[in-house]
Every structure is written in C-alpha cells, then in structure tokens.
Amino acid sequence: MWNSLLKKLKKFDWIFFGAMSLLLGLGLLAVFSATANSSLTLFHKQSFAVLLGLILFFFFLSVDYRIFKKISSAIFIFLLVVLIGVLIFGSRIKGALSWFRFGFFGFQPVEFVKIAMIIVLAKFFTKNFRRLKNFRFIIVSFIIVAIPAFLVIIQPDIGSAFVILCIWAGMILVAGIKKSHVAILLIVAMSIGLCGWKFGLKDYQRSRITSFMNPYEDPQGEGYNAIQSVIAVGSGGFWGKGIGNGSQGQLNFLPERHTDFIFANIAEEMGLVGISFLMVLYTILLLRIIKIAFEANDNFAKFLVIGVALMIFVHILENVGMNIGIMPITGIPLPLISFGGSNMIVTLSSLGIVESVLTHKTIILKEDDQVDFL
C-alpha cells in the first residue's frame, strides 16, 4: 500500500496543487473580507465547503479515472433525473428553480451536471473519435448535450447552460472537426440564438443581457450591478485600499460581493497587484491542466481533462467579463474563489479527476483509446 502511495506522490503535480491551494486561500480571504461586517456564518460555510472539496479532491485523485468511462451511461441518466427532479421538487431562489433544500443544507444540481456532461462527452468522443468527420456524429453529440442544457435553461439558468454548451463546442474543436462543419455549426448557433432572443427569453432576461452594453441607460435598475462593479474595479488602483477597506464593498454599494462580484471586491481591496496575482495563479493552473492533457496516453483522459479546463476557463472568462463590464451578468461564480458550496465541491472534485489522470497513467493498447490528437 505504501509503495503504491509513494508511486502516486512521485507523479503528483505539486505546481498544480500549489496554484490551486493559493487560489483557495485567496478565495477564503476574499470571502472573509466581504462578509466580516455582516455574518461570519458565510465564511464558516465556505471553509467547510473547501474542506469537503479537498477531501473529495484526494478521493477522486485516488480513484482510477477510467471507472467514469464505464459508468458514463448511468451518469447521464442520473443527471437527467436530477434536472427533472429539481424542476418538480426544487426551491426557487432569485427567480431560478435550481436548488434542492434540506433544512440548512442546499445544493445546485447544475454544478454537478457540468462535470457529468464532461464525462459523458469524453466517452462519446472517445468511442466515435474516428467518425467525427461525419457530421451525423456531431449532431448526435449536440443532442446529448442539448437535452440537459434545455432543462437548465427552463429553470431558468442561462449562464450555466452557456457553460455546458461552451464545453461541448470546445471539445468538438479540440477533436479536430472539418472547417466546413465549424461554419455550419456557427450558422446554426446564430440562428438558434436569434430565435431564442425573439421567442425564448423573457423581458427581464433580455434587459439583463443588453444592460452590459449601456448600463447607464438604467443606472438604478438593470445597470446598477454592472456600474458598481466597474467603479469598484477602477477604484482599487495599483495597491488597492486594503483588506476590509473597500468603500464600494464594505458600504454595500457593490451587490453580491462574496459571490458574483467577488472579483470586483478583490480588485478594490487588493488593487492591480491582487488581481494580477489571481490571474497568474489561474494561468498556472490551466497550463498545468493542459500539460496533463498533452501527456495523457488515452483519448478518454485527454477529452476528460480538456473538458475540465474548458469548464474552468469559461467560468473565469464570464465572471471576470461581467465584473469589468464586457460580458452580460449571468451569475456564474469565479472558480475556487466565489462563495458557494456546490461550485467549490464540483471544481475541486474535477481537479481531483485531473490529477487522477496523471497518477494513474498507464500504456493503453485499445484502438479506441490510442493517442490521436493533442
């Protein structure tokens, strides 16, 4: 047993783990600063989520990632049951029917759906990798992802559905589909987007999306959050105002400063130095994940790791974008930083699966699993 553990520790990516740990520490500091004047209960909840997430990180690290390939069909059925269940039995919070509540405990199933879809798509793309030049298999993969995405949209949770669809699009591109197929998909996506804009979205959803283009059109309404966030980011300057001294955050001008707008809170209190340090840590983490993908010697592992990288990258892109006013406000959390147990647990579990790919790497001889890309 000890020999096996030592072998795994030799393969363990300590730079990856170091960047992840520093992000967790920075996140806890930011949540503490954002909630100290209101309720430390939120900080304690976040600390518990980090602890539970780290336990799951090491658990999934110790599990051979190939088991997920074997149970991917069961995972897909389970996630559909959960998504339908939350629409029937879930709790509505901030207008979205996306939570299960059990007393003081609650979780968002959509966060688990993201990693589940990565596993399901990784299995599908691995099994059909040599057939992806046939447009029919691309359509099948889209149908697989469109079903849960639709169930997420009707909660409604447009932001999470966007993340799920981006993961699919990124994995398809990495697989190396034909340029003509990419063009067709872009035309279809734009057509669906226009139809969704005209017939699918409610008025408040449209105004939330358009408000980022001109938030001053409704500065006390839909544009308020975006304006306050941009002010907070800009007011931090180079060094920041100091932990707990941000006027926008501490005086409650900045809404949701421990969740959606925690990046703005960090920018105000830690300045350019703080957010630069944050982005460097994210860059290191993503580069190490991509390195693990390149070094993996079976296609399922590659797709799995690339999917996790895409999930984290899209979260960062959307959250930072909405904090600086260049993306619509969708409520997407900042990975390893924002307050929220469901996202924290899923992100750390996903990173544990990434490390499992590294520590369980062996030579694969099956034809479907041979290295064909990256």
The pLDDT of residue 210: 67
User: How would DSSP label each residue in 123-155?
Assistant: HHHHHTGGGTTSHHHHHHHHHHHHHHHHHHHTT
Distance CA 275, CA 263 (A): 8
- Does the pLDDT of residue 285 top 80, yes or no? yes
Tokens of 151: 């169930």
Describe the strand order of the beta sheet including 105-107 as a list of residue ranges: 91-93, 96-102, 105-107
Question: What's the pLDDT band for 132 if we cut at 50, 70, 90?
Answer: confident
pLDDT reported for residue 94:
67
Residues 6+ apart with CB under 8 A from 241: 235, 247, 268, 269, 271
For residue range 69-106, list pLDDT tens digits in order: 999 999 999 989 988 888 887 777 766 677 777 666 67
CB within 8 A of 179, min separation 6: which ones? none
**Residue 214 or 296, more confident:** 296
Q: Is the pLDDT of residue 152 over 50?
A: yes
pLDDT of 302 reads 94
Q: How confident is the model at residue 365 (pLDDT cuts 50, 70, 90)?
A: very low
> Could you tell me the pLDDT band of residue 1, with boundaries at 50, 70 and 90?
very low
Q: What is the pTM of this model?
A: 0.90
Instruction: Determine the Cα–Cα distance for residues 166 and 152; give it in Å rounded to an integer.
Output: 14
CB-CB neighbours of 2 under 10 Å: 6
pLDDT digits (tens, 9 = 90+) for 311-331: 999 999 999 998 988 888 887
Comparing 311 with 13, the larger pLDDT belongs to 311
- Give the three-class secondary structure for 29: helix
User: Regarding predicted confidence, which is higher, 217 or 89?
Assistant: 89
Q: Is the pLDDT of residue 203 over 80?
A: no
CA-derived radius of gyration, the chain: 21
Mean pLDDT score across all residues of the chain: 84
Structure letter (DSSP) for residue 196 = I
